Amino acid sequence: MLLYVLDLFGVAVFAASGALAGMLARLDLFGVLVLASITAVGGGTIRDVLLGHYPVFWIRDSGPLLAILGATAFTVAWVQFLPVPRDALLIADAFGLAVFAISGAQVAERMRCHALVIVLMGTLTGVGGGVLRDMLSAKVPLILRQDIYATAAIAGILVYLLLRALKVPTAGAFVAGALTVAATRLAAIAYGLQLPIVGIAH
């Protein structure tokens, strides 16, 4: 039950970030809702399609859709009266990334995928929606810039897989992996940590 609530929290946070991106791009209300939805469930949808995991998770359970509607309505109402809490959203996004990355890895693990596929599917679940959001907002996706984002997801998934290989219970491995993702992402935000740019010598 706790993991389900955390999943809905991640959906709501990503929906809020998508709604904000839509409003900054001056989309109409329907466009804002579409961008919020794609951000919230895009990564998990792509994962389920690639893994042949049907029906897709938000079709099996309407909870994520209700979370998207609620988060979008709250975000739209908030910005009409109060300033956007950007730091708070970044922090919440870090925890959303953590939950999505590890839960996505678990889906691939349950389907007995290779470890590399588990890492890929978990990372895709965590960052896929944000990539779609940025592309539709005409921005360079966050994971293609210097920001430590996808790297944080990969680090947490590797910790999760290592602990599972050491026979640590699933719940304990989940918590450790998610905390690794969140801590790595929050450290990058707090200290401005970035990956080095790979350039071509002239």
Measured between alpha carbons, how far is 113 from 106 in angstroms, rounded to an integer? 10
Cβ neighbour number for residue 169 with a 10 Å cutoff = 10
Residue 98 lies in a domain: yes
Residue 196 lies in a domain: no
Residue 198 lies in a domain: no
Residue 197 lies in a domain: no
**pLDDT in the model for residue 126:** 94
Domain with 95, as residue range(s), is: 2-191
Measured between alpha carbons, how far is 58 from 195 in angstroms, rounded to an integer? 34
More confident position, 2 or 151: 151
Render pLDDT for 116-132 as a digit per residue (tens, 0 to 9): 999 999 999 999 998 89
Residue 29 lies in a domain: yes
Residue 120 lies in a domain: yes
More confident position, 146 or 181: 181
**pTM of the full structure:** 0.89
Residue 149 lies in a domain: yes
**pLDDT band (50, 70, 90) for residue 38:** very high
The total of structural domains in the chain comes to 1
Residue 182 lies in a domain: yes
Render pLDDT for 171-194 as a digit per residue (tens, 0 to 9): 899 999 999 999 999 999 888 888
Measured between alpha carbons, how far is 37 from 11 in angstroms, rounded to an integer? 9
